[in-house]
Structure 1
Amino acid sequence: MTPPPGPYSGASTLALVARASAFTFGVVYGGIKLKVLKAKAKTKAKAQKKAEAKDHH
């Protein structure tokens, strides 16, 4: 019989939970960061349009 997996073998429940948590955190963080970057780009584009319209008048 093989011994049960140790805490650092990558097969223990704790390791699986830690990996799943890290993955979930990465997905959530990535999604939030993407939204923030998109919002910043939108704001920048709006400001640029406003500046161009001002220059034309």
Structure 2
Amino acid sequence: MALPPGLYSGKSSLALMARASAFGMGLVYGTMKLKVLKFTAKSPKVVEAAAHH
């Protein structure tokens, strides 16, 4: 999804900061989501429900 070079070059410091910030937020979000999924997978209700199937 590349935009024409005239509209957005992606080389400004603001663009680099925004990209780095979005990447960092994605890492934090992904890590938190994995922790929640692992925690819920170990909860007794989930284990009990899986045992019935």
TM-score, structure 2 length as denominator?
0.70
1:18 maps to what in 2? 18
1:4-24 C-alpha deviation (Å, 9 max, x unpaired): xx8831000000000000000
1:27 maps to what in 2? 27
For residue 37 of structure 1, report the CA deviation from its aligned partner: 0.5
RMSD value, Cα: 2.3
Structure 1: state its 5+ residue gaps. 1-5, 53-57
Residue 27 of structure 2 aligns to which amino acid in structure 1?
Answer: V
Give yes or no for contact 1:10–1:16 (8 Å, CA) kept in 2.
yes
Residue 39 of structure 1 aligns to which amino acid in structure 2?
Answer: F
Structure 2: state its 5+ residue gaps. 1-5
1:26 and 1:12 map into 2 onto residues whose CA distance is: 21
Bigger Rg, structure 1 or 2: 1
